[in-house]
Structure 1
Amino acid sequence: MSVLARSVGNAFRNKVRTAAVVAVLAVAIGLALAMLVANQAVGAKVQELNASVGTVLTVNPAGGQGFDGGGEPLTAEQAGTAAAVPNVSSVVGTSSLRLRNATEAAAQSTAGTQAGGPQGAPGGGQSQNQGTATVTTSLTAAIDAGTLGGRNQAANGTTGTSGTATAQPARSLPITATGIGAEVDSTGKALGITQGNGLGDYTAESTNALLGTTLAEKNGLGVGSTFSINDRTFTVAGLFDSGTTFGNNALYVTLPTAQGLAELPGELSSMIVTVNSMENVDSAKTALQAALGTDKADVTQGQRNLETAVSSLDSVKNISLIAFLAALGTAGLIILLIMVMLVRERRREIGVLKAIGAPNRTIGLQFVLEALVVVAMGSVVGAAVASFASGGIASALISSSSTTTTAASTGRGVGGGAAGFPGGGSGMPGQGGPFGGASQLLTSVTASASPGVIAAGIAAVFGVAIIGALIPALLTARIRPIEVLRGE
């Protein structure tokens, strides 16, 4: 009988014990593989955050943030100045608009005129980056005002010349429209276009637009559909998904188009500056602020408060690695104890084999192969366990990390994303807590048990199994056949 056949037969000699050992090993191996998958997933997310967020600087007008605050608008000349700063790899200008439904805007305008107030924005005011024109659209916002919106609208009533209060018509939330100079979002990442194509020529006025998925669904639009902004007809070139309902209540057009709609040619609401590496971010930020002037622009690191989140994710990554090693060590210890017990039980068998001339190497190989047979069965079950448990374990680790980081970040305010962008740090509602609109990045860690990761984990398990089986295999060399046979 060959060594392999004898090893397989020995592995099933005591079926109850083998089943128990396989079950225990499956739990340990499954936990080890799940932790390895979680470690890989968190590591990939950390790299993504560092690459997409850590090198982005946001430039806003000095004293301005989003649709609020003072300051003078940025210009194309300042964008050229920013592009000339050392270590700056790209500069993308933006122009942000707030679109009102045309029917609602007309009703509001009529009510405002009857109350003696100027036409335009609610309460007679205008957003700082929309010129003197009210920008209207045929689109209907995808988000209802709700209770908070109703309270704000109630506070926006005006008083006419007769002194009697005139209630303003009900308003829905505005739609965020952003003119961009490249196909990026507020974090400098490529737009997540789910259908269709980009805007095409970002340096020229066009009638193409990218709509958020919820906004398109609300208005029954798809790729190729048309809608209007003011008196211009636009075509839906593509749909994007920002990851949040509020962020998807938005649309993108080219920068020149947005400037034309706002009747503010050459002006920018903000600039997204990408630095060539994380190591140069601080120096580039200082140089950029000096080049633009503290009285002209405010330079902030995009989503700065995500540094705490990244640090927390690093801790999760380390914890998952330690847990993987601990589970791997546990599996190795189980194998070691089982094989030591088997060597002790089979002293007589080993003595007989050595007496008839079997070398220690052959006997040791038999025990190693027997251990590998048991480990192989445990790995199959463990891989199945890991494929189902890895997602839940990763989510639990990330949720715990996010909760801790959120508590530590309370009171720091919303992150400084690009003003007016979906998910940006413009102080608008629905931005997702202290991480701003990028909070979905932290909770979007996808832990999938890929074949490569599982294969690497099983290879590590087999390595530990071989080490755990070699120790008792070496003990067979100490068994002297004459002592064993004398005792029989």
Structure 2
Amino acid sequence: MSVLARSVGNAFRNKIRTAAVVAVLAVAIGLALSMLVANQAVGARIEELNASVGTTLTVNPAGGQGFEGGGEPLTAGEAAAAAAVPNVTSVVGTKALRLRTETTTTTDSTGAAGGATQPGAGGPGGQGASVTTSLTAAVDAGTLGNRNNSGTMNGTATNGTAQAPAFSLPITATGTAAEVDSTGKALDITSGTGLGDYAAASTKALVGTTLAEKNSLKVGSSFTIAGKTFTVAGTFDAGTTFGNNAIYLTLAEAQALAGTPGELSSMVVTVNSMENVDSTKAALQTALGTDKADVTQGQRNLETAVSSLNSVKGISLVAYIAALATAGLIILLIMVMLVRERRREIGVLKAIGARNRTIGVQFVLEALVLVALGSVVGAAIASFASGGIASALISSNSSTAATAQGGPGGFGGGFGGQGGPFGGATQLLSSVTASASPGVIAAGIAAVFAVAVVGSLVPALLTARIRPIEVLRGE
């Protein structure tokens, strides 16, 4: 009988024990593969963020940030000046609007009913111009939103004359010159199509999935903004409920709705490489002027997101190594036990002329048979569990990012924060997806086999110390 056939037969000699060993190995191997998949997914996401978000510069009016602060609005001429800066590959202008449900009313200082805006909505044509819409916001203001935006103190109006109305969160509409978000990343359109020419006025719109569900919208549905009818060209997923409470329009259309043709709320400038980001940032600030624009690197939450992802990557790597070591230890203990059980068999084989190397290879092959069975089951476990494990690891490390991006006020601390249409660090983290690709699984199984060989070598070498005369004398 060949060594391989003998090894396979020995692996199934005790079926109950074999099943138990395979089950334990499958758990260890499945965990190792899941951690490897999570590590690879997080690493790929970090590279993606550094390559996309890390090479973008955000330009806001000096003294202003999205819906917050003052500053003079940016212009098309400044966008052209930015595009002329060396190493700049693209400039995408945006125009931000706040949409208020048409039935929403407020009260003024005398308690009389006001218009269709609420405190802090921003005047027409301003940095955060506010217009009405037939849509209903997909996110309720909640306790924090009402507390920070209703103008009350402990449930009483600040002027002491009347109870302020409940605050209703606005819907964010963003006019953009290209199919990208504020980080320069392409929009994740889940149904329908884009808007075509993003520089031309159009009555097409992209609607966030949460907002579409709230208002029963689908591709081809219509709604109104400032009395003008718009058609849903597609829906997008920003990664968060808040981020999906938003609409994208073409830049020209948003400017027309705000009554500010040629004005921009912000610009997203893409640099040709990460090595040129710092020098381009300085050149861009000089070209636009410190009194006209503030230039910041990428998304404000990139550093927080990357830091959290690096933590997850480190944890998954340590867990992967620990799981591999556990699988190796299991193999070591099992094979030591088998060598001790088969001392008589080993002695007989040596007595009839079997060489130490042949006997040692037999035990190594037997261990590999057990590992192969465990790897099949472990790979199946990893294919189902890797995504959930990666999400759990990221969720446990995203609290810091969420704390860093949340600001004062019920609207999430401004245009770029949690409440903004583009989200923040949490959105960057939540967009990580882990899938057990064949290449990653194959690499993980190869590492498991390598560890199994090392774990079985020690017991295999022990067979060389067994002397036939001593074994047979003891019988």
Q: TM-score, normalised by structure 1?
A: 0.83
1:142-177, CA deviations, whole angstroms, 9 ceiling, x for partnerless residues?
334444554534559xx9xxx996888766333221
Q: Distance in 2 between matches of 1:125 and 1:43?
A: 41
Question: Is the CA contact 2:67–2:414 (under 8 Å) kept in the aligned structure 1?
Answer: no
1:184 to 180, 184, 189: 180
**Which letter maps to 1:35?**
M
1:46 aligns with 2:68: no
Name structure 1 gaps, 5 residues minimum.
416-421
- Alpha-carbon distance in structure 1 between the residues aligned to 2:418 and 2:468: 82
Please give the per-residue CA displacement for 1:58-88, whole angstroms capped at 9, x wherever unaligned.
Answer: 1111111222322111011111111122222
The one-character-per-residue Cα deviations of 1:109-147 (angstroms, maximum 9, x if unpaired) are xx7699899978546984374499963333333334444
Query: Structure 1 vs Structure 2: percent identity of aligned residues?
Result: 75
Amino acid at match of 1:136: T
Deviation at 1:24, TM superposition (A): 3.5
After TM superposition, the structure 1 stretch with the greater mean CA deviation from structure 2, 234-243 or 44-53, is 44-53
Amino acid at match of 1:185: D
More displaced 10-residue stretch of structure 1: 464-473 or 179-188 = 464-473
Q: For each residue in 1:178-198, what CA deviation from the matched residue of structure 2 results, as whole angstroms up to 9, or x when unmatched?
A: 111000012211111111111
The aligned amino acid for 2:456 is A
The equivalent of 1:364 in structure 2 is 360
* Contact 1:117/1:123 (8 A) holds in 2: no
**Paired residue type of 1:244:** T
Distance, in Å, in 1 between the alignment partners of 2:413 and 2:112 is 35
**Residue in 2 aligned with 1:228?**
224
- Amino acid in structure 2 at the alignment position of 1:10: N
Once the two structures are superposed, what CA deviation does each residue of 1:80-115 show, in whole Å capped at 9, x if it has no partner?
Answer: 1111222222110011112233444xx66xx76998
2:335 corresponds, among 339, 349, 368, to: 339
- 5 Å-filtered alignment, 1:193-272, equals 193-272=189-268
**Rounded Cα–Cα distance in structure 2 between residues aligned with 1:394 and 1:437:** 19
Residue 81 of structure 1: aligned partner: 81
CA distance in 2, matches of 1:429, 1:472: 57
Summarize the alignment of residues 434-449 of structure 1 with structure 2, pairs less than 5 Å apart. Answer: 437-449=424-436
Who is 1:426 aligned against?
415
Task: Give distance in 2, aligned partners of 1:164 and 1:456.
Answer: 69
Relative to structure 1, is the Cα distance of residues 95 and 182 closer, same or farther in structure 2, using a 3 angstrom cutoff?
A: same
CA contact (8 A) 1:186 1:423 kept: no
Distance 1:213 1:67 in 2: 23
Give 1:302's match in structure 2, choosing from 278, 298, 302: 298
Q: Return the offset for 1:225.
A: 1.9
Instruction: Indicate if the aligned counterparts of 1:120 and 1:133 stay in contact, CA closer than 8 A.
Output: no
The alpha carbon displacement at 1:21 in A equals: 3.3
Which amino acid in 1 is paired with 2:134?
S
Partners in 1 of 2:111 and 2:401 — Cα distance? 48
Cα distance change on mapping 1:38 and 1:345 into 2, 3 Å:
same
Deviation at 1:367, TM superposition (A): 1.6
How many pairs does the alignment contain?
A: 468
After superposition, the Cα gap between the structure-2 partners of 1:482 and 1:457, relative to the gap in structure 1 and judged at 3 Å, is same
What amino acid maps onto 2:446 in structure 1? A
> Which residue pairs with 2:131 in the alignment?
135
Deviates further, 1-10 or 357-366: 357-366
Unaligned runs of at least 5 residues, structure 2: none
CA distance in 1, matches of 2:430, 2:172: 24
1-structure distance, mates of 2:368, 2:212? 57
Q: Please tell me the residue identity of whatever aligns with 1:455.
A: A
1:457 aligned onto 2:453? no
What is the distance in 1 between the residues matched to 2:439 and 2:39? Answer: 14
Which moves more between the two structures, 145-154 or 185-194? 145-154
Does residue 99 (structure 1) correspond to residue 123 (structure 2)? The answer is no
Sort the Cα spacing of 1:20 and 1:247 in 2 relative to 1 into closer, same or farther, 3 A. Answer: closer
Instruction: Please tell me whether residue 399 in structure 1 is matched to residue 399 in structure 2.
Output: no
Distance 2:237 2:128 in 1: 31
CA contact (8 A) 1:153 1:171 kept: yes
SS of residue in 1 equivalent to 2:218: coil
Q: Is the 8 A contact 2:25 2:327 kept in 1?
A: yes
Per-residue CA distance 1:190-209 (angstroms, 9 max, x = gap): 11111111110112111111
**Partner SS, residue 256 of structure 2:** helix
The Cα shift of 1:342 comes to: 3.0
Q: Pick from 466, 477, 481: which aligns with 2:453?
A: 466
Report if aligned partners of 1:29, 1:331 keep a CA contact under 8 Å in 2.
yes
CA separation of 1:467/1:154 partners in 2, compared to 1, >3 Å: closer, same or farther?
A: closer
For residue 415 of structure 2, what is the amino acid of its counterpart?
Answer: S
Q: For the residues of structure 2 that align with 1:15 and 1:231, how far apart are their CA atoms? A: 75
Indicate the residue corresponding to 1:27 in structure 2: 27
| Aligned counterparts of 2:160 and 2:320: Cα–Cα separation in 1 | 71
Q: CA RMSD in A?
A: 3.6
Amino acid in the other structure paired with 1:59: V
Secondary structure of 1:135's aligned partner = strand
1:372-383 matched pairs, under 5 angstroms: 372-383=368-379
Q: Contact 2:172 / 2:420 at 8 angstroms: preserved in 1?
A: no
CA gap 1:466/1:170 in 2 versus in 1, 3 angstroms:
closer
